[in-house]
């Protein structure tokens, strides 16, 4: 688990550097790569911590309640994907705003970098734990690849041309990933599925929050401008 996380982190930083160095908004606002990388490191640490924290809430185990068990990922593996994404995006928004960075653009760049590394993490997990990977993880391996291709080939070019607002790409990704994760959990365990499960509640909150913010940003603002 530790090797996978470290490998993904370096891939994440490389992709972030590659897409940020010539980005029009980043260059125009004179945002240095040092500031982008500082934010990326902080976001990664916050996302990892809350991903683990939400996993402990969702899968309560006495071994994980003490600090050593909580930090011992190699011995007691487990992370919450949606918990990590939601906390990382929220922290990115607060921190970027505090540091007077272009919030929407920065979050979009971080999201794109995460999308690029997500299939890498699933593939590495599949190879290391071959034959022991859950069906949900196998499904999301395929989903993460398809989502990455969709955003890289279709949505990212629209964002670059300014046809969608900065920040909308990130909201779209969060809404899609939470919706698909919710559906996968529902149909894989339809008999025992509970809407009151902590993770399912979190998924629905993240899904509807993302949709409301996306509609407000892309539709309501344009509608009000026309008036």
Are residues 26 and 131 in contact, defined by beta-carbon separation less than 8 angstroms?
no
Q: How far apart are CA 209 and CA 227, in angstroms?
A: 26
pLDDT for residue 226: 55
pLDDT for residue 2: 74
Q: 142: exposed, middle or buried (C-beta count within 10 Å: 0-12, 13-18, 19+)?
A: exposed
C-alpha torsion 111→115→117→123, nearest 10? 150
**What residues make up the domain containing 21?**
2-226
- pLDDT tens-digit readout, 193-204: 888 888 889 999
Q: How far apart are CA 196 and CA 169, in angstroms?
A: 29
Q: How far apart are CA 90 and CA 169, in angstroms?
A: 15
Our count of domains for the chain comes to: 1
Nearest to 83 by CA among 188, 167, 194, 198: 198
Sign for the CA dihedral angle at 81, 37, 15, 205 comes to positive
Are residues 144 and 118 in contact, defined by beta-carbon separation less than 8 angstroms?
yes
CB atoms within 10 A of CB 32: 9
Q: How far apart are CA 163 and CA 198, in angstroms?
A: 36
Q: Which residue has the tokens 């945002």?
A: 31
pLDDT for residue 60: 85
Q: Which residue has the tokens 């997990």?
A: 125
Are residues 115 and 70 in contact, defined by beta-carbon separation less than 8 angstroms?
no
| Residue ranges in the chain whose pLDDT is less than 50 | none
Using alpha carbons, list the distances in angstroms from residue 129 to 5, 42, 137, 138.
15, 29, 11, 11
C-alpha torsion 120→78→5→177, nearest 10? 40
């Amino acid at each position: 688990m530790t090797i996978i996380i470290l490998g993904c982190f370096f891939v994440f930083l490389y992709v972030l550097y590659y897409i940020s160095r010539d980005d029009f908004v980043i260059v125009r606002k004179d945002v240095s790569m040092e500031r982008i990388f500082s934010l990326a490191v902080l976001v990664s640490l916050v996302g990892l911590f809350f991903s683990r924290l939400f996993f402990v809430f969702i899968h309560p185990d006495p071994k994980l309640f003490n600090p050593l068990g909580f930090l011992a990922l190699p011995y007691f593996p487990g992370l919450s994907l949606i918990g990590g994404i939601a906390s990382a995006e929220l922290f990115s928004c607060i921190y970027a705003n505090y540091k007077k960075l272009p919030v929407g653009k920065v979050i979009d760049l971080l999201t794109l970098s995460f999308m690029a590394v997500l299939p890498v993490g699933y593939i590495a997990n599949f190879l290391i734990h071959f034959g022991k990977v859950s069906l949900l993880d196998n499904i999301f391996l395929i989903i993460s690849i398809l989502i990455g291709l969709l955003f890289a080939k279709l949505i990212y070019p629209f964002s670059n041309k300014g046809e969608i607002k900065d920040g909308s790409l990130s909201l779209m990704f969060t809404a899609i990933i939470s919706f698909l994760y919710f559906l996968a959990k529902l149909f894989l365990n339809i008999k025992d599925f509970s809407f009151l499960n902590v993770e399912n509640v979190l998924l629905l909150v993240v899904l509807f929050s993302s949709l409301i913010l996306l509609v407000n940003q892309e539709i309501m603002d344009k509608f009000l401008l026309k008036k």
